[in-house]
Amino acid sequence: MMVRIGTLFSDVIEQCGGVVEGAVKVISGGPMMGFAQWTLDVPVIKGTSGILVLSQEEYVSSDEYSACIRCGSCLDVCPMGLNPSQLSILSEKGFFEETKDYNLFDCFECGSCAYVCPAKRPMVQFMRLAKSQVKP
């Protein structure tokens, strides 16, 4: 649906039938690059591409990931030809400067790596963390 800029998320969701029982997370944007919202009292802006409400069954907590098993799935899907597993491991361990050697800033955070990861690693969050700690 198309809504006016400034319309609150809560009003948009209400127009679509409201939040159903069991909803645990609201995401502004899509499932791969979207941002979790802490409140529904945020307005639709020019860049809002969608509002996603996830149930408990659909939601995978970022606390429920395991160590990288080095399967290479993320390497196969990265559109920039990066090594997302190595970047996420370095970021997780706090070796932020070393991520520059693996072209951290070429990552545009599409989320493909996290989507295919069998260990459910929050790779996009690791990339964002590293980018916030390093100067280009």
What are the tens digits of pLDDT across the range 88-124?
A: 999 999 999 999 999 999 999 998 998 899 998 999 9
Domain annotation covers residue 29: yes
φ/ψ of residue 50, rounded to 5: 180, 165
Domain annotation covers residue 2: no
Looking at the structure, tell me whether residues 39 and 91 fall in a common domain: no
Q: What is the pLDDT of residue 29?
A: 85
Domain annotation covers residue 3: no
pTM over 0.85: no
| Residue whose entry in the numeric block shows the structure tokens 């690059």 | 33
Domain annotation covers residue 63: no
Looking at the structure, tell me whether residues 94 and 43 fall in a common domain: no
Domain annotation covers residue 25: yes
Give the torsion through C-alpha atoms of 105, 106, 112, 117, to 10 deg. Answer: -60
**Domain span at 85:** 73-133
Looking at the structure, tell me whether residues 127 and 77 fall in a common domain: yes
Domain count of the fold of the chain: 2
pLDDT at 136 > cutoff 80? no
Domain annotation covers residue 62: no
